[in-house]
Amino acid sequence: MTITTTEHPQSFSITDNHSRGTVYFYSRVRYAPTLEVRHTAADDSPITRLPFTHAGSGRVRDEICWRADPLLPPTGTWQFRIDIGHHTYAVPENRGSFDFYSTNLRQLWVQYGQLFDYEPAPALSLSRVVKIPNFTGALARRALYIYLPRGYDQHPHKKYPVMYMHDGQNCFESFAHDSYSGSWRADHTADALIAHGHMRECLIVGVSNGGHERIPEYLPPYATYQPLHRGHANGEQGNSGGHGHPKFSLIPGHANRTADYYQHDVAPFVAQYYRAEQGREHTATCGSSMGGLFSLYMAWEHTDFAQHHAALSTSFWITRNPQGQLTAVERLRQRPPRDIRLWLDSGSRDAPTWATTANTIPLPLATHCLKMGTCKGIISITI
C-alpha cells in the first residue's frame, strides 16, 4: 500500500482496498473544522487533512452537525483528531491538547470528547453501578452489582449486550469497600474503553461469590477440593495420622448448580429489569482464578448461555487428577467443537508452582483447540 501525504484534502493516493468512513461532529463552531487522519500510530506518521462539510442543524440551539468521509482501511485501528481552527483541537476526553482518537469504528459520532457508534442524545447520564444487596435465588442470598453505561437513561429503546463477572464484590471501584481483595475497576475501565470507541456499550453484571462456598461454587463437578481441616485451619492441632499432615476432607465441585443459578435466576432478573440483549451471541462471562475456571466450565459445558468467555489466571491446578492430568484442560481437548470465543491470560507473580502451571497452559491449549477446531477463536496471553 502506498500513501502520499499532502496538506490538501483528497489529493493522497491509496489502493482500492480502502473505503469511505464517516465522522459526524457536533459542535457550535461556526467555520468548518478539519479532520486530521494519521496513517499509523507513530508520532511522526504523515497526516492527511480533510475539511468537514455542513451536514445540517444540530440537536440543540446553535449546534451544527459537521460531517467528513475519510478513506480508511477496511479493518483495524485508525487515528484522527479534529482541528476546530488555528490548530486548536477537539481531543479525546481526559487526554492532552494534541492527542489523537484511536478507534476501530468506521462510522462514528464525536461528542464532548467521546466516540459513539450511533447518534447520541445531546446530554447524557453518566455511567453508574447499581447494587442489588440481597438477591435471592437457588444459591445463598448475595449481592449483584450492575454497571449501566453512559446515556442509559436517554436511550430507552437501546438494548445492550451483557457480561457476567464472577466474584462480583471485587469488580467495581464504585463499591470497592465491598471487596475482599481490592477493586478490579471494571467500571472505570469500561468507561475509558467505551469513550474511545474500543468497546461496545454493555451491561456488566457482577455476581458475588458465596463467601466460604466460593471454591465449590466455581469448581466443576468433575473435580474435588481438599481443604485443610477446619480445626487445623484455625490453629488447632488436626489429626495428621502421625505423618505431620492435617486432616483433609473431600468437597465436590458444584459449578453446575452455579451455572444453573446464572441461567435461571440471575439472567432472567437482568432481562426483566434492565434492557439486556437476548441470545448467547450477546452474552459473555469473565472471571479470575477460580472465577476463570468457572468461565471455562461455562464455556465448555453450558454453551447455550454465552458465546464469549474470558478466563484470567485460571486455577487449572485444582483440577489435577490422580494420574497427574489437569482435568479441566483435558476436557477442553475433547470434541465435538464448541461455537465459543475464549480469552485466556495468565501472569507470573504467583506461587511458583501455580505460576508455572498457569504459564505453560494457555498458548499450547489455544494452539491445540484451534488446530482441532474445538473452539471458534482463542486469544492467549502470558504476562
Enumerate the H helices of 138-206 as residue ranges: 186-195
* Whole-structure pTM value: 0.84
pLDDT digits (tens, 9 = 90+) for 194-244: 999 999 999 999 999 999 999 999 999 999 987 755 444 333 333 333 333
Q: Please answer whether residues 73 and 17 qualify as being in contact, where contact means their C-beta atoms are separated by less than 8 angstroms.
A: yes
* Cell digits of residue 292: 476463570
The angle subtended at Cα 54 by Cα 52 and Cα 60, nearest 5°, is 115
**Res 249 pLDDT > 80:** no
Number of other CB atoms surrounding residue 140 within 10 Å: 14
pLDDT at 4: 29
**Span 313-324, pLDDT tens digits:** 999 999 998 888
Residue 163 burial (CB < 10 Å; 0-12/13-18/19+)? buried
Collapsing DSSP to helix, strand or coil, 122 comes out as coil
Show Cβ contacts of residue 311 under 8 Å, excluding neighbours closer than 6 positions. Answer: 287, 292, 293, 295, 296, 299, 342, 343, 344, 345
Q: How far is CA 188 from the centre of its chain?
A: 12
Q: What is the pLDDT of residues 85-121, one digit of tens each?
A: 988 998 888 776 788 999 999 999 999 999 999 999 9
Task: Please give the pLDDT value at position 18.
Answer: 75
Better pLDDT: 34 or 337: 34
Asked whether 380 and 345 are in contact (CB, 8 A), the reply is: yes
**C-alpha to C-alpha distance for 101 and 85, rounded to whole angstroms:** 18
The strand pair at 78-85 and 308-312 is best described as unpaired
Q: What percent of the chain has pLDDT over 90?
A: 62
Question: How many CB atoms are located within 10 Å of the residue 118 CB?
Answer: 11
Question: 150 or 354: which carries more pLDDT confidence?
Answer: 150
| 353 confidence band (pLDDT: 50, 70, 90) | low
pLDDT tens by residue, 156-167: 999 999 999 999
Q: Which domains does the chain have, with CATH numbers?
A: 19-116 (2.60.40.10), 128-382 (3.40.50.1820)
Q: What is the pLDDT of residue 381?
A: 52
Mean pLDDT over each residue of the chain, to the nearest integer: 84
